Amino acid sequence: MSLLSASVSITRYKVEGQLETPILETIAAGLNKNVISEIDDRSLEKAVGWTSIEKPYQPDFTGSAFVYGNYLLFSLRIDRKTVAPKVVRKHVVIESDRRLAESGRPYLSRNEKERIRDQVMDRLNATVPSTPNIYDIIWNYEDAILWFFSNLKAANEELETLFLRSFDLTLIRLIPYMAAHYTSDLTDTEKDILLGLTQTHFTG
């Protein structure tokens, strides 16, 4: 559980939009719809989905298992398989040589080479176990604020995409302008001034 680590990273989001009531059931449905699927015996290279915070390898969103006080807690899991490029090259060369010997032709077409590479990747991916990466999420539904326990660009992008697909809600990263616009209680006039600001120079 990354949120219990000795040192953490946090990216903050504003959640925009409203869920259908009953809210907890809608959220559970969104989580179940995109729950992580195991890819270890399959040819897939990557899987992205939701998982339970306490049991990330046995996701369970039944009842209110993801509710902790006023917060909703779950995790984003990204499983990825990595095959060393030299291993891929070796199997592609072996397979290409075998096809050439069988056909008696001196060369393979571009399409044939691509097909061989895809087949080799599928075969290798089916034998390689995936490496899971788990990133915790704390969602304060009432305040429409979400904390994501990672600053990694790729993980944040996966979160934003999956969140929209699962709940039909947009996550707005609270970068300086967005934090000023959404969470600083500015009046409309102040928001207009904000839009026109330019950098201050403290020298001179």
Contact residue for another protein among 41, 102, 142, 185 (CB under 8 A): 185
How would you label 100-115 residue by residue, b for 16+ Cβ within 10 Å and e otherwise? eeeeeeeebeeeeeee
> Is 100 a binder of another protein (CB under 8 A)?
no
> Is 96 a binder of another protein (CB under 8 A)?
no
By CB under 8 A, which span of 36-44, 74-82, 86-94, 184-192 interacts with another protein?
184-192
> Minimum Å distance from CB 3 to another protein?
6
CB 108 within 8 A of CB 175: no
> Is 195 a binder of another protein (CB under 8 A)?
yes
> Minimum Å distance from CB 34 to another protein?
22
> Is 154 a binder of another protein (CB under 8 A)?
no
Give all strands (DSSP E) within 34-152, no chain letters: 46-51, 67-68, 71-80, 131-140, 145-148
Helix (H) or strand (E) holding 171: strand 170-173
> Is 194 a binder of another protein (CB under 8 A)?
yes
CA distances to 60, 85, 189 from 92, rounded to whole Å, are: 40, 10, 63
Residues at the interface with another protein (CB under 8 A): 3-4, 6-12, 53-54, 68-69, 71, 73, 138, 147, 151, 172-181, 183-186, 190, 193-195, 197-204
